[in-house]
Amino acid sequence: MNYEHDNCRPEYFKENWEGKWKVFSWIEFVCAIPHVLFMVTTLKENGLPNASFQSWSSFTGEGDNYYIIMSGVMKHTHTFANIKRNKEFCINFLNKNYLDQCWKTIKEHNFDNDEITAAGFTLEDSRSIKVPGIKESFLKMECCYEWEKELCPNSHNITICGIVKHISIDEHFAKAVTKDKYGKDSFMFHLHSPINPFTGEIHNGGVGTIEYAGNI
């Protein structure tokens, strides 16, 4: 039996923290679609690096133009303020071996901190922008701000589009064939606290990786 419902939240879906249904859609937790995880680095107003663990994004383009569309950037964050001010940011993909350091950036977010080094990462100068990247990343994208749009009127979140100006790819990852390119040493995915839609029970979230299944 399929679960069928319109876009109005069932009354038995309860918040497990205050304001959850203002910040997120309940549909996200029912559909349980994984999103790739990465670190966004920016520069604060004082010139120090800022680092933010981010998801809810897509990557697409045409010809020489390649874009990242980050749909879940919260308006109150340093990341949003820094991108708006400087018009630059760097996307850093890390494998699950660096997960603890990624989480650490959430705690080391003081204005006077270099949040990259405070989390145990290594700063690396970018080629096309002033914002530094994270040396441990197997893939980095240096981006410039293109546009922004609210997800909905008076939204807590903003959608930001950035154009990729330069890429830096680890040699091993770049040369690997498809079956070896993904897995435990590659992209991390956000598994965002799925809900059982029949009961409203909230399950623990997590982090996952892709398993190669076969050729197309």
Number of domains in the chain: 1
What pLDDT, on a 0 to 100 scale, did the predictor assign at position 216? Answer: 83
CA 165 to chain centre: 18
Q: Is residue 156 part of a domain?
A: yes
CATH number at 167 reads 2.30.110.10
3-state secondary structure of 128: coil
Q: How far apart are the first and last CA of the chain?
A: 30
Q: Is residue 4 part of a domain?
A: no
Residues (pLDDT < 70) of the chain are: none
Q: Is residue 84 part of a domain?
A: yes
Q: Is residue 93 part of a domain?
A: yes
Q: What angle do CA 135, 139, 141 make, to 5 degrees?
A: 95
Q: Is residue 27 part of a domain?
A: no
CA 17 to chain centre: 21
Residue with tokens 């910040």, as numbered in its chain: 23
Quick one: tokens of 51?
Answer: 């680092």
What pLDDT, on a 0 to 100 scale, did the predictor assign at position 86? Answer: 98
- Domain encompassing residue 123: 34-208
Q: What angle do CA 159, 197, 23 make, to 5 degrees?
A: 25
pTM, two decimal places = 0.95
What pLDDT, on a 0 to 100 scale, did the predictor assign at position 106? Answer: 84
Q: Hey, how many other C-beta atoms are within 10 angstroms of the C-beta on 29?
A: 19
Quick one: tokens of 93?
Answer: 């993909």
Q: What is the DSSP pairing of strand 88-93 with strand 139-150?
A: antiparallel
What pLDDT, on a 0 to 100 scale, did the predictor assign at position 215? Answer: 87
What pLDDT, on a 0 to 100 scale, did the predictor assign at position 48? Answer: 96
Q: Is residue 109 part of a domain?
A: yes
Classify residue 8 by its DSSP letter: S
In one-letter notation, the amino acid at residue 56 is W
Q: Is residue 185 part of a domain?
A: yes
Q: Is residue 95 part of a domain?
A: yes
Q: Are 162 and 67 in contact (CB under 8 A)?
A: yes
